[in-house]
Chains A and B, each alone.
Chain A
Amino acid sequence: MRNNSSSKATILGLLRAHSTGGGATPPQAVAASEVFANLSQGGSEELFEQFSRAVTTLKGEVHRSNDMRAAAQLIAKLTTDGGISRCVRQRAPILDHLFQGYPELSTLESGMCVIDGNDSATEIPHSTIEQAQCAFTTVDALVARTGSLVLRSTSAGGRRLSVLPPVHCVVATLKQLSPSLTPWLRTIKDDRSWSCSTIVTGPSRTADIERIIVLGAHGPKRLIVIVIADPGETLN
């Protein structure tokens, strides 16, 4: 780009003329336990309770399934009740196992558009995803304190999948619960494979009109989180 290096030199020159630092060590990373009053110290059951409360407060839905079969039955019921038949999902071991391994979901799977967020060969048009009624994805982690889900472009079917359809259904495991965001932040720092990651807390919302909260502003109106306690040996 034209004139770019000269602008950079000018700006940095102006700053350097008045900069006071140079070599000082950065402040220590903030420990979540020191800052937040609502950080859970308990085990996975307590974390699940806190996570569930936080998501429900935000009008998201949390379901707990003991195993894969229960999760498949739950998804079958949720989709039937919601009149959902046109779905998209991410290609991921836990979702492949659910949708291909249980007859309850075979009808849903037969009309399913499966997307590999880690494969540029799958050039799926925006409209296909936009017209789906529900998207199924996995997550990197669940944050109990804030009821947040952490999605990565390489491991959640890309950037579009979890935001275009009106319903986003997440399949996670109890082991993915973390008290705070920090452990995940530390892990992803060294993984340079992804280009976009989103920390999702509740369904899409707006309060731009007279501060009245409306769900589903531009993203999903419904956020469903299914937490599987024991997904079995291979998937745990």
Chain B
Amino acid sequence: MASASEHSQFIDRSEVKAADQTHRKRLLKVIASYDSVVTNQKQHQFHDWQSARETAATIKDYVLDNLPELLEQFERNATANGMQVLWAKDVADAHTLVDEILARHNIKKVVKSKSMTSEELELNEFLEHRGIETLESDLGELIVQLAHEKPYHIVTPAMHKSKEEISEIFERTLGCAPTHDAEELTGIARDHLRQVYITADLGISGANFLLADDGSILILENEGNARLTTACPRVHLAIAGIEKLLPSITDLELFLPLLATSGTGQQMTAYNSIIRGPKRPHEGDGPEVMYLILLDNGRSTIYSKPEVRASLRCIRCGACLNACPVYKTVGGHTYNTPYSGPIGAVITPHLKGMKEWGHLAYASSLCGACTDVCPVKIPLHHMLLTNRQEAHAETPSLFWSSALKLWAGAMQHRFIVDNGARAARLGMSLLQLCAPRLAKKIPKPAARSFSSWWRNNEE
């Protein structure tokens, strides 16, 4: 029942979005602007983009091959830095840990910087239920939070909103005067959040990388909101997937520009913060305590499947979303998952269940554009095929397997093909008489079969 509902909802939402010209125009405009800066940056900055992504893939493969050992090395070094490393098997496990942190530090107010893992945990809803005031600080995340929506895109969560819509949201929720100026809108968010950073008890962030040899986490951002989130409140909680490791701090030389290029077309993200833990006894500021939750939540399942394991190389740049013709048509919300687009279609069924989410593997034309742009060379479209196989095995359909057998049998007999087409033409004429509106939706069968044409035209 559940599988039918997610799947059919996907189709319903797709039909609406695909026909929404305003939505499509906005999306294509944003993605075209992204495409041009990314192409430029790849040429300007790298000797050879292909070999850079090859190197990055090799480093991430080394991480996956040695994941348990590197996680332990990371934990040892992070603990020595004063960070408290916690492990969460699944969403319930992570929620328990967050609850304990809230109680231990008497947390009343939370400021968050962008974190996709917190979307997996539906952390905003969770905190709201506990009566904790929670505000997103990334501009895009703030916009979708105030609009009671989910992020639309891994990197640019509010890319589907126009200035006018954002003005309306700010007017309604923050009570400010309407303006259609992007700079003024940004200023409203800036002013509103200033007091929040200063008064929040807990700052929650994600992490783009975990450095095994340094025991530190990396946060990449352009706005400065993550720096403030991790500088001002007295407690910092970071949440990261267990696959986010890099072996060494020196790997940043490649991975910072790589992620910036693929994510936003920048040479470097404005702020790359390396955080080792809470403030040191001699330091003047910073949180007194820092926690890091290492989240599994289905990643070990992906790890156990050789055909899709390489999807754990992902550095969440969002390039495959921007390249995907299906994403560009149906938009981010249609997927109804934190991770949308090709990477979402690959990992979501393994994180949340193939039965309910297997249909996402079919939200692809298998054109391979996703694989071409991936900075860590994940063979995404091959994995979508693998998922299709697995989804099919999970929910075998007697109708389809018998229908395909019949089809295969019929195709091998000329007599059946020709007469089948004749029957279809007759059926269409009848349908046109009885239900012309329905007949309009169905493609017309050819006037004659190819073989009969060939017989007549053969010299």
Report which A residues bind B (CB closer than 8 A).
1-4, 7-8, 10-12, 14-22, 24, 26-27, 29-30, 32, 34-38, 54, 58, 115-120, 122-124, 126-127, 130, 146-148, 153-154, 157-160, 163-164, 180-182, 185-186, 188-189, 192-212, 214, 216-220
Tell yes or no: B225 within 8 A of A by CB.
yes
Tell yes or no: B172 within 8 A of A by CB.
no
Per-residue CB proximity of B240-269 to A under 8 Å, as 1/0? Answer: 001000011111111011000000101111
Q: Of the 9-residue stretches B8-16, B83-91, B374-382, B436-444, which lies at the interface with chain A? A: B83-91
Per-residue CB proximity of B51-90 to A under 8 Å, as 1/0? Answer: 1100100110010011111011000000001101011110
B26 surroundings in chain A (CB, below 8 A):
210
Within the complex, what minimum Cβ distance (angstroms) separates B214 from chain A?
Answer: 6
- Our pick among B33, B283, B304 for the contact of A120 (Cβ within 8 Å) is B283
Known: A15-B300, A38-B44, A196-B273. A163 touches B87 (CB 8 A): no
Query: B272 and A199: CB pair below 8 A?
Result: yes
Interface of A is mostly: loop
* 6 shortest interchain CB distances as A-B pairs: A219-B224, A21-B65, A217-B223, A159-B231, A208-B140, A14-B300
Within the complex, what minimum Cβ distance (angstroms) separates B211 from chain A?
Answer: 10
Within the complex, what minimum Cβ distance (angstroms) separates A179 from chain B?
Answer: 11
Q: What residue of chain A has the Cβ atom nearest to residue B291's Cβ?
A: A1
Query: B270 and A3: CB pair below 8 A?
Result: no
Sample of 9 more A-B contacts, CB < 8 Å, known A185-B253, A202-B270: A4-B87, A11-B242, A24-B65, A117-B283, A120-B284, A127-B198, A196-B273, A198-B272, A204-B224
Query: B158 and A209: CB pair below 8 A?
Result: yes
Query: A24 and B62: CB pair below 8 A?
Result: yes
Query: A37 and B47: CB pair below 8 A?
Result: yes
Query: B67 and A36: CB pair below 8 A?
Result: no
Give the complex CA separation of A8 and B71 in angstroms: 10
Query: B247 and A118: CB pair below 8 A?
Result: no
Within the complex, what minimum Cβ distance (angstroms) separates B310 from chain A?
Answer: 12
Give the complex CA separation of A185 and B248 in angstroms: 10
Between A11, A209, A212, A217, the greatest number of chain B beta carbons within 10 A of the residue's beta carbon is seen for: A209
Query: A180 and B253: CB pair below 8 A?
Result: yes
Q: What residue of chain B has the Cβ atom nearest to residue A25's Cβ?
A: B62
Query: B68 and A189: CB pair below 8 A?
Result: no
Query: A118 and B283: CB pair below 8 A?
Result: yes
A120 surroundings in chain B (CB, below 8 A):
279, 281-284
A37 surroundings in chain B (CB, below 8 A):
44-47
Tell yes or no: B139 within 8 A of A by CB.
yes
Q: What residue of chain A has the Cβ atom nearest to residue B62's Cβ?
A: A27
Tell yes or no: B429 within 8 A of A by CB.
no
Per-residue CB proximity of B148-175 to A under 8 Å, as 1/0? Answer: 0000000011110111001000000000
Known: A15-B300, A153-B283, A219-B224. A208 touches B271 (CB 8 A): no
Residues of chain B from 306 to 328 with CB closer than 8 A to chain A in the complex: none
Tell yes or no: B183 within 8 A of A by CB.
yes
